[in-house]
A and B are shown apart, each in its own frame.
Chain A
Amino acid sequence: MATIVQSDAPAPSEADPSGTLVKRHRLSTRLWHWINVFALATLFMSGLGIFNAHPRLYWGHYGANFDHAWLVLERFPGWLTLPGHYNLAMSRHWHFFAAPFFAFGLLVYMIWSLINGHFRRDLAFRKGELAPGHIAQDIADHARLRFPTGAEALRYNVLQKGAYNKTLFLLLPVLILTGMTMSPGMNAAFPWLVEIFGGRQSARSIHFIAAWAVVAFFIVHIAMVLLAGPFNELRSMLSGWYRVPGKPTAREERP
Chain B
Amino acid sequence: MTLILSRRALVTGAGAAATALLTGCDRLAEHESVRKALFTADNFHLWMQRAITDRNALAQEFSPDQMSPVFRANGTFNPNTEDYKALWRNGFADWRLKIDGLVDRPLSLSLAQLHAMPHREQITRHDCVEGWSAIGKWRGVPLAVLLHAARMRTTARYLVFHCADFGGGTDPYYESIDLVDAFHPQTILAYALNDRALPVQNGAPLRLRVERQLGYKQAKYLMRIEAVSDLASIFGGKGGYWEDVAGYQWYAGI
Which residues of chain A have a CB within 8 Å of any CB of chain B?
41-42, 45, 50-51, 53-54, 56, 58, 61-67, 79, 82-84, 87-90, 92-94, 96-97, 99-100, 182-191, 194, 200-201, 204, 222, 226, 230-231
Task: Out of B7, B72, B214, name the residue touching A65 (CB < 8 Å).
Answer: B72
Is there contact, CB below 8 Å, between A92 and B129? yes
Is there contact, CB below 8 Å, between B23 and A84? yes
Tell me the minimal C-beta distance from B70 to chain A in angstroms: 4
Tell me the minimal C-beta distance from A245 to chain B in angstroms: 13
Task: Out of B39, B45, B131, B248, name the residue touching A204 (CB < 8 Å).
Answer: B131
Cβ contacts under 8 Å, B41 to chain A:
93, 96-97, 99-100
Residue in chain A with minimal CB distance to B7:
A226
Q: Does B12 contact A (CB under 8 A)?
A: no
Docked complex Cα distance between A94 and B41 (Å): 9
Task: Out of B10, B18, B21, B42, name the residue touching A226 (CB < 8 Å).
Answer: B10
- Which positions 124-179 of chain B face chain A at CB distance < 8 Å? 125, 127-135
Given A84-B26, A90-B247, A97-B41, the answer on whether A185 and B133 have CB atoms closer than 8 Å is no
Task: Out of A63, A88, A230, name the residue touching B6 (CB < 8 Å).
Answer: A230
Is there contact, CB below 8 Å, between A64 and B57? no
Q: Does B249 contact A (CB under 8 A)?
A: yes
Given A53-B129, A184-B214, A185-B253, the answer on whether A61 and B135 have CB atoms closer than 8 Å is yes
Q: Does B53 contact A (CB under 8 A)?
A: yes
- For the complex, count residues of B whose C-beta is within 8 A of A: 58
Residue in chain A with minimal CB distance to B213:
A184
Tell me the minimal C-beta distance from B3 to chain A in angstroms: 8
Task: Out of B23, B48, B132, B249, name the residue touching A63 (CB < 8 Å).
Answer: B132
Q: Does B118 contact A (CB under 8 A)?
A: no
Q: Does B100 contact A (CB under 8 A)?
A: no
11 more contacts with CB within 8 A, not counting A94-B38, A97-B37, A194-B60, are A41-B18, A56-B132, A58-B132, A64-B128, A79-B22, A92-B129, A93-B41, A94-B25, A97-B38, A185-B253, A186-B254
Is there contact, CB below 8 Å, between B133 and A62? yes
Tell me the minimal C-beta distance from B72 to chain A in angstroms: 5
Which residues of chain B have a CB within 8 Å of any CB of chain A?
6-7, 10-11, 14, 18-19, 21-23, 25-26, 29, 37-39, 41-42, 44-45, 48-49, 52-54, 57-60, 62, 66-70, 72, 125, 127-135, 211-214, 242, 246-249, 252-254
Is there contact, CB below 8 Å, between A186 and B132? no
Interchain Cβ contacts under 8 Å between A and B, 22 examples = A42-B25, A56-B132, A61-B62, A62-B133, A62-B134, A64-B128, A64-B133, A66-B69, A67-B69, A82-B22, A84-B22, A93-B42, A94-B38, A100-B44, A183-B253, A184-B211, A184-B253, A186-B254, A188-B58, A189-B54, A190-B53, A200-B133
Given A186-B53, A186-B254, the answer on whether A54 and B128 have CB atoms closer than 8 Å is yes
Task: Out of B11, B45, B211, B252, name the residue touching A188 (CB < 8 Å).
Answer: B211
Tell me the minimal C-beta distance from B110 to chain A in angstroms: 32
Tell me the minimal C-beta distance from B125 to chain A in angstroms: 6
Is there contact, CB below 8 Å, between B131 and A51? yes
Is there contact, CB below 8 Å, between A184 and B59? yes
Is there contact, CB below 8 Å, between A93 and B254? no
Task: Out of B29, B44, B254, name the residue touching A90 (CB < 8 Å).
Answer: B29
Cβ contacts under 8 Å, B242 to chain A:
89
Cβ contacts under 8 Å, B253 to chain A:
183-186
Given A54-B131, A83-B26, the answer on whether A96 and B211 have CB atoms closer than 8 Å is no
Tell me the minimal C-beta distance from A159 to chain B in angstroms: 21
Is there contact, CB below 8 Å, between A41 and B133? no
Is there contact, CB below 8 Å, between B132 and A89? no
Cβ contacts under 8 Å, B211 to chain A:
184, 188
Cβ contacts under 8 Å, B131 to chain A:
50-51, 53-54, 204
Docked complex Cα distance between A194 and B213 (Å): 16
Docked complex Cα distance between A194 and B133 (Å): 13
Is there contact, CB below 8 Å, between A188 and B127? no
Is there contact, CB below 8 Å, between A83 and B10? no
Is there contact, CB below 8 Å, between B68 and A67? yes
Tell me the minimal C-beta distance from B123 to chain A in angstroms: 11
**Interface-centre pick from A96, A99, A231 (highest chain B CB count, 10 A):** A96
Task: Out of A56, A94, A182, A230, name the residue touching B7 (CB < 8 Å).
Answer: A230
Is there contact, CB below 8 Å, between A188 and B39? no
Residue in chain B with minimal CB distance to A194:
B60
Residue in chain B with minimal CB distance to A82:
B25
Tell me the minimal C-beta distance from B90 to chain A in angstroms: 31
Residue in chain B with minimal CB distance to A93:
B38
Given A41-B21, A92-B129, A226-B10, the answer on whether A64 and B248 have CB atoms closer than 8 Å is no
